[in-house]
Amino acid sequence: MSAETLKFSKSVPTATGNSEICWIGDNVLAGTDSGCAYLWGFDKPEPLATFQEHDLEINSISSSPSSKSHFLTASSDTSIKLWDTNKISPVQSFTDHEAEVTGVRFSPSGGLFGSTSRDKTLKIWDQREAKSTMSIQHQTALLSLNWSANNNHIMFGGEDGSFQVVDIRNTSAAVFSKKYSSKVTAVSSSKNDKFVAVTTDSQLEVFSNADSSTPSSSTSSMLSSLLKDDSHYYLRSVSWNPTKPNDLVCGGWNKNISLYSIA
C-alpha cells in the first residue's frame, strides 16, 4: 500500500471555538462553546444560519443521512435536540442522560442515533421515541462516537484513552480496540472505510480497513498521524465529506475550520 498523506486545502475563520463539526450538503455545521450551532460555507465570511436553544455549550453535532435538513446537537445541559435547518427552533428534545452529553451520531440509515455522556454510558435511540432503547456501560466517561457504514458497528472514544468498535447486536466484546495515552475526543468513519481517532494532544490517526464488516488491528494501517501544526492545538473534531470520501474537515478551539484531502 502506498503512503498516503493529509494535504491542507483551505479554512474558514469562526468567531468562537468549535467543539464539533459535520458536513450537511456542501456546507459545514459547527457546534460551539457558546451554545449555538452555526451553518458555514467555505466561500462565505459569515455563517449562513444560527441555531440557539441549549443552555450550555454544544459538545457534538450530527447531520441526518436520510434528510437534507435535519441534524442533532448534544450539550453539557444533558439534552439532545433534533433540528431542521429551515426552522429556528428544535423539532424535538431527548433527555435520558444524567450528565453532560459529549457525543451524538445518526446511524447510516438515519432511523437510529447514538449518544455518549460523562455518565459513562453509550445510548442508542429511536428518533420516534423520547427514551433510549439501549444503554452500554463503560468504566469512565465517554467523549465521542460514530457509526461504521454497515449500520451495526458503532465506535466510541473514552476519557481513559480507549477507542473501541462494538457490534450493537452483541456488545459483549469489542471487534476492534486501541488504547491511547490521552483521552479520545473525536472518532469518525467514511464510506470508503477509513476510521479516525483524534486525541487531545492533537494526534490524528487514519486507519484504512481492508474488511468493512470486521475492522481489526491486523487489517488496519495508519495512513497519517500526528498533526503538530500549532493551528490545530486542541483538535476537537474531524468529519468526512459524505460525497467526497477523501476529504475531511477538522476543527477545534483555534477558531478555524480546516479542509484536508487524503492524497
Please name which of 68, 23, 76, 32 lies closest in space to residue 50, comparing C-alpha atoms: 32
Residue 205 has pLDDT above 60, yes or no: yes
Look at residue 193 in the predicted model and tell me its pLDDT: 63
- How many whole angstroms from its chain centre is CA 94? 18
Q: What angle do CA 90, 16, 146 make, to 5 degrees?
A: 60
16-195+205-221 folds as: Methylamine Dehydrogenase; Chain H (2.130.10)
Look at residue 192 in the predicted model and tell me its pLDDT: 64
Residue-wise pLDDT for 68-115, tens only, equals: 899 999 999 999 999 999 998 999 999 999 999 999 999 988 889 999
Look at residue 228 in the predicted model and tell me its pLDDT: 44
Look at residue 200 in the predicted model and tell me its pLDDT: 65
Give the SS3 label for residue 104: strand
- Distance of alpha carbon 46 from alpha carbon 29, whole angstroms: 13
- Looking at per-residue pLDDT, the higher value among 233 and 139 belongs to 139
- Positive or negative, the CA dihedral 54, 59, 63, 64 is negative
Residue-wise pLDDT for 131-169, tens only, equals: 899 999 999 999 999 988 778 889 999 999 999 989 989
Look at residue 175 in the predicted model and tell me its pLDDT: 84
Which residues have CB under 8 Å from 22's CB, separation 6+? 28, 29, 61, 62, 63, 71, 239
Q: Which three cell numbers stand for residue 108?
A: 447510516
Look at residue 64 in the predicted model and tell me its pLDDT: 93
Residue 251 has pLDDT above 90, yes or no: no
Q: What pTM does this model have?
A: 0.82
- How many whole angstroms from its chain centre is CA 116? 11
Domain chopping of the chain, boundaries: 16-195+205-221
- Looking at per-residue pLDDT, the higher value among 151 and 195 belongs to 151
Please name which of 22, 84, 90, 86 lies closest in space to residue 54, comparing C-alpha atoms: 90
Q: Which three cell numbers stand for residue 30?
A: 459547527
Q: Which three cell numbers stand for residue 196?
A: 479516525
User: Which region among 12-21, 49-58, 217-226 has the lowest average model confidence (pLDDT)?
Assistant: 217-226
| Averaged pLDDT for residues 121-128 | 92
Q: DSSP alpha helices (H): ranges in the chain?
A: none
Look at residue 152 in the predicted model and tell me its pLDDT: 87
Contact 208, 221 (CB under 8 A): yes
Q: Cell numbers 438515519 label which residue?
A: 110
